Amino acid sequence: MKKDLFKNGMLLRLKKVSLSPFALAIILANSNNLNATDLKNTPENTVRITQNNKIDLVKGKVVDETGASLPGVSVLVKGTQRGAVTDIEGNYTIEAKIGDVLQFSYVGLESKTVTVTGPIVNVTLASGSGETLQDVVIIGSRNPTRTVTESAVPIDVIAMKDIATQGAQTNLNQILNMVAPSFTSNTQTVADGTDHLDPAQLRGLGPDQVLVLLNGKRRHTSSLVNINGTPGRGSVGTDLNAIPSFALEKIEVLRDGASAQYGSDAIAGVINLNIKKDTKKLDINLFSGSNFSKNANDHRGGNDGNHYQLDLNYGTNLGKEKSFINVTGSLQLRDATSRANDAAGTIYNAYNAIEQRASEDGININSLFGNISNTPNTTQIINTIKGYAPQVSYFTSAQQTAISNATTIPQLQTALNFDATDGELAYRNLERKNFNMRVGQSSFESVQFFLNAAYPINDKLEVYVFGGTSYREGESAGFFRRPNQSRSYTGLYLNGFLPEIHSTINDLSAAAGLKGTIFKDWNFDLSNTFGRNAFDYNIENTVNATLREGSPTEFDAGGLRFSQNTTNFDLSKKFNTLNVAFGAEYRYEMYGINAGVPDSYSQYDINGNVVTGTTPANIRVTDFFGAARPGGAQVFPGYRAANAKDEKRNSVAVYTDLELDVTGKWLLNGAVRFENYSDFGSTTNFKLATRYKITDNINLRGAFSTGFRAPSLHQIYYESTATQFTGGVPFEVGTFSNDSQIAGLLGIPKLKQEESRSASAGFSAKIPSANITITADAYYIKIKDRVVLTDQFTPTPVTQSLYDQAGANAATFFANAIDTESKGIDVVITNKLNLNENLTLKNDLSGTFSKTQQVGSIHASPILEAAGQVNTYYSESSRIYLEEAVPRIKVNLTNNLTYKKFDFFLRNVYFGEVTDPNVADVNGDGFVGATIVNGRAVENEHPVWGGKVITDMSVGFKITDFTKIVIGANNIFDIYPDKNLGPQTARRANGVDAGGNVTYAPTATAIDLSNQNQFVYSRNVSQFGQNGRFVFARLSFSF
């Protein structure tokens, strides 16, 4: 290593061998700017002096108030583009001269400016300053010193230190839903697997149109595809809740298209999760909370949804300077909530009453027949029923007479087909509440462990590893199978049953890499990242009704798995005003479906053989009234052997990214990325972005980019048959892959990539005198060939046998059905005031105003058009899920007041209105409104649930330097969504007349969106959930 020193106009070139600080001091004896003490404290004596005796290389260390090293601090020379970032020990090196002003900033702490007076500038950053923080970001720019307000694209930086100690939310989805205005995520209810994995959306686009990174590396997606009626229907998202929030230092949300920089999926933006690097520190978090709400426990009050959590985080060095290992462990237990009302409607019929009396004598009437129309023992069945009917004391004399006079099964079916619910509830000492569904959040238990570590091999190379594992067991329930329904089997469950879905979600990720400098001063990063997600189903408290008494009550229903391996090589170098970066990526993906046990999906006849399309009707299993009993495990039929698969693909990509400071005010950024997929071909995308500094405090910025999203392997190959309820009516809906025979017969084309074009423009401004920062950005995103899940196609004579093979009476498919446009404005205003020595106030106001809509015509095939199936291919309910099922307006105002050892937290979030995908007579005119779409009448009168303000509040007290307690509440005013519409009758649209007018049925039919009082609030859409007030306490220790 060489040291260039000027002395009296002469250049002294010294090779570092054993030169002591004192010898160097003698050489520089005439310098007024250095002394021996300065040099002794300088690492490796690397001090450079210009001919004018001015320092041009400054080093130092940054610590917090406790003296702990601060890695990742941004250090900038004010008024220039020169910058640096502190290493794991808090050390930095930067080119600067005496008189230059250095700006230091760090997430969650004050910003600080220091004038250079010598070669060593050590800094302590504290909390409580009124100065605005400028965060260095990893995403959106490959310049390692670029800050949020200096970026050419909008980026939110969320410091987890504050969030983790103040709010009621503990998992990432809920934290981001309350903090980031353009982010939306909520727990779902009665939605099969989606009850256990919350779909998340950015800027109103799909869960699979936002890319998630962990420490800047691509994160794998979940193995679950959302096929039920929820926001994000038909998409595959990332399981953010598999990552413990306590493991994270900060979250960066890039609100701009970035496919040219990061590849597939980054159409809406990128979320980067940064794992902690702290050393010499142990943090412990104990959390307990519950929903204390007027509507808890099915509107009986009290509390439910208890939540307990223990988090541990520890960091230490690995015996070498700049090395570290940081580990996090998290244990969570969460109970279910339920917000149903007492079950309405028929629960028991007269047959159920009689079979109860027979059961009390040890006689199972259901065992006397398999198919009620094929009964050699008809006389025995009739006599048994007649024999026990008189024991039902509440039957009227007329009812008893009708039963006693019946001489055939059809006559008995007529005589027993009346509602006996009230009398039977009283006889069995039961209440209607005993038949409620469990409508609310699912319960779960989870264990998580994450690690982040780095070890420097030498002063130019560093090896790093990070990753973790998450194991989660969840439990949710479906629709109650009432005794009077054919889906129930009273031979095993006399009072019906509430079937349960028990999920096991295993998530694993591991990344390792080598980074440093090569070719003198090029930065490189070689890494490999592996991730795997498995989602297994076990169905309990259920029955395969076609097996009757021989049915198990618990089934292994199979599962899903997805894994991804990504190898990256990145190079970058900063040439004065130009930052150059380029690299390559290879990705390998695997997707599989594991079949369940045969009993979990098969339908059997009365002889125990599997039902096929040729099975005669008279040997199929029925209930007493002749309704066919469905096969498979109730609530979730298992994945069939025919569904089992193991699919793979790979992709390769290369990119280049240039960032040029044209002048001190004007920044230009450009990126180009070529990517080739083994299953659908190649794509090239680009991005241009710019920022212009009008003044020191006002920046204008804008970007234009193209993007893409490869259809996921899940969307290409997923197949299943599941029970879905429409208007309370169950359907066995088969989801078929795009290369299936039935897809070809219906004219469903094979999937191809989504393509996008996006543009954004905005500004960032600072008002130093008031310590206010303002950013506002408008955006426009157009997506071509967007992948959606179609509505339900019913069988035709040509396709009937294929439906039978799948055990389905309806079919859906993934398809590139439409083009969409999304546009909106995001605004963020921050203010931090140092009111006095002990009192600080921080205010954050943010809002998003967005709109997404389908544009152009539906991309239907000629076969679908000829069959009049265009509106099934892309339905009205699909339009609602896409355009109006999540809030289009969301505003967040957060206030943090700190006084000595106290801190007070207040947050108000306005969630805008949403539209329910179901239709009803909303305006009360006796009709369900409709319009004409593609020549067909389409009902479009939807309930709209109004906007609400949710208020969170907490108070924290620092008991000691190491201990803090926080008590607070989420939704402190116990706000709920608007109530669902109850039972009504209305005339429904049934066609279009010759004059082009919608026609209506002559008589009204029943509509009940509440499903007999069970869905008090919509099950399909929700702005903020339906759990009501949540009260919590948190005790934190930091050593």
pLDDT tens digits, one per residue of 153-194: 888 888 888 777 787 788 888 888 888 878 888 888 888 888
Contact between 328 and 247 under an 8 Å Cβ cutoff? The reply is yes
Give the up-direction half-sphere exposure of residue 459: CA atoms within 13 A in the CB hemisphere: 5
Percentage of residues in the chain with pLDDT exceeding 70?
Answer: 91
Cα separation of the two ends of the chain: 40
- 135/597: higher pLDDT: 597
Fold observed for domain 2-126: Immunoglobulin-like (2.60.40)
Contact between 871 and 879 under an 8 Å Cβ cutoff? The reply is no
Show Cβ contacts of residue 685 under 8 Å, excluding neighbours closer than 6 positions: 259, 260, 672, 673, 675, 705, 706, 707, 708
Q: What's the pLDDT band for 739 if we cut at 50, 70, 90?
A: confident
Of 159-173, 422-436, 590-604, the least confident = 159-173
- 746/29: higher pLDDT: 746
Can you give the pLDDT at residue 729? 62
Can you give the pLDDT at residue 494? 97
Structure-block tokens of residue 569: 């090589």
Can you give the pLDDT at residue 18? 38
Contact between 148 and 137 under an 8 Å Cβ cutoff? The reply is yes
Give the up-direction half-sphere exposure of residue 372: CA atoms within 13 A in the CB hemisphere: 19
Q: Give the tens place of pLDDT for each residue, 34-59.
A: 443 343 344 333 334 344 445 578 99
pLDDT at 931 over 70: yes
Q: What's the pLDDT band for 149 if we cut at 50, 70, 90?
A: low
* Neighbour-count burial for 434-451, b at 16+ CB within 10 Å, e otherwise: bbbbbbbbbbbebebbbb
Can you give the pLDDT at residue 259? 92
Q: Do 2-126 and 173-337+441-912+947-980+1015-1038 show the same overall fold?
A: no
Strand 554-575 to strand 810-836: parallel, antiparallel, or no bridges (unpaired)?
Answer: unpaired
pLDDT at 30 over 70: no
- Element housing 996 (H / E): none
- Element housing 392 (H / E): none
Where along the chain do its domains lie? Answer: 2-126, 173-337+441-912+947-980+1015-1038, 366-435
Query: Which residue type is seen at 946?
Result: G
What is the rounded distance in angstroms from the CA atom of residue 959 to the CA atom of residue 49? 50
Q: Give the tens place of pLDDT for each residue, 875-917.
A: 999 999 999 999 999 999 999 999 999 999 999 999 999 999 9
Give the rounded distance of the alpha carbon of 632 from its chain centre.
30
Q: Give the tens place of pLDDT for each residue, 645-680.
A: 999 999 999 999 999 999 989 999 999 999 999 998
Can you give the pLDDT at residue 725? 59
pLDDT at 445 over 60: yes
| SS3 per residue for 816-844 | EEEEEEEEEEEEEEEEEEEEECCEEEEEE
Dihedral over Cα of 394, 397, 401, 404: its sign:
positive
30-39: long-range contacts at Cβ-Cβ below 8 A with a sequence spacing of 24 or more?
A: 33/98, 33/118, 34/118, 34/119, 38/118, 38/119, 38/120, 39/119
Can you give the pLDDT at residue 723? 66
β-bridge partners, 313: 283, 328
Q: Give the tens place of pLDDT for each residue, 315-344.
A: 999 988 889 999 999 999 999 999 999 999
Q: What's the pLDDT band for 805 if we cut at 50, 70, 90?
A: confident
Contact between 416 and 381 under an 8 Å Cβ cutoff? The reply is no
Q: What's the pLDDT band for 23 if we cut at 50, 70, 90?
A: very low
Neighbours of 524 (CB within 10 A): 18
Q: What's the pLDDT band for 123 if we cut at 50, 70, 90?
A: very high
How much is the average pLDDT of 678-692?
94
3-state secondary structure of 325: strand
Nearest alpha-carbon partner for 878 in 201, 182, 211, 206: 206
pLDDT at 439 over 50: yes
pLDDT at 24 over 60: no
Q: Give the tens place of pLDDT for each residue, 53-98.
A: 455 789 999 988 777 788 878 888 887 767 888 887 889 999 888 8
300 dihedral zone (left: phi>0; alpha: psi -120 to 50; beta): alpha
Contact between 680 and 710 under an 8 Å Cβ cutoff? The reply is yes
3-state secondary structure of 21: helix
Of 188-192, 358-362, 981-985, the least confident = 188-192
Residue 788 phi, psi dihedral angles, 5° rounding: -130, 165
How much is the average pLDDT of 502-531?
96
Q: What is the CATH number of domain 173-337+441-912+947-980+1015-1038?
A: 2.40.170.20
Query: Which residue type is seen at 481?
Result: R
Mean predicted lDDT score pLDDT of the chain: 89
How much is the average pLDDT of 1006-1016?
96
Can you give the pLDDT at residue 838? 86
How much is the average pLDDT of 823-847?
91
How much is the average pLDDT of 856-866?
91
Q: Give the tens place of pLDDT for each residue, 717-734.
A: 999 877 665 655 666 778
Q: Residues, the chain, total?
A: 1039
Per-residue CA distances from 983 to 344, 727, 942 (Å): 10, 11, 15
Number of H helices, E strands in the chain: 17, 48
Can you give the pLDDT at residue 796? 80
Can you give the pLDDT at residue 811? 87
What is the rounded distance in angstroms from the CA atom of residue 708 to the CA atom of residue 680? 12
Can you give the pLDDT at residue 1038? 92
* Neighbour-count burial for 83-106, b at 16+ CB within 10 Å, e otherwise: bbebbbbbbbebebebebebbbbb
Structure-block tokens of residue 235: 């998409």
Show Cβ contacts of residue 181 under 8 Å, excluding neighbours closer than 6 positions: 826, 828, 846, 847, 848, 890, 891, 892
Nearest alpha-carbon partner for 224 in 434, 421, 442, 506: 506
Q: What's the pLDDT band for 14 if we cut at 50, 70, 90?
A: very low
What is the rounded distance in angstroms from the CA atom of residue 685 to the CA atom of residue 56? 41
Can you give the pLDDT at residue 141? 60
Percentage of residues in the chain with pLDDT exceeding 90?
Answer: 71
Show Cβ contacts of residue 1035 under 8 Å, excluding neighbours closer than 6 positions: 285, 286, 963, 964, 965
Q: Give the tens place of pLDDT for each residue, 252-305.
A: 999 999 999 999 899 999 999 999 998 889 999 999 999 999 999 999 999 999
Which single residue is written with the structure tokens 């967007």?
A: 786
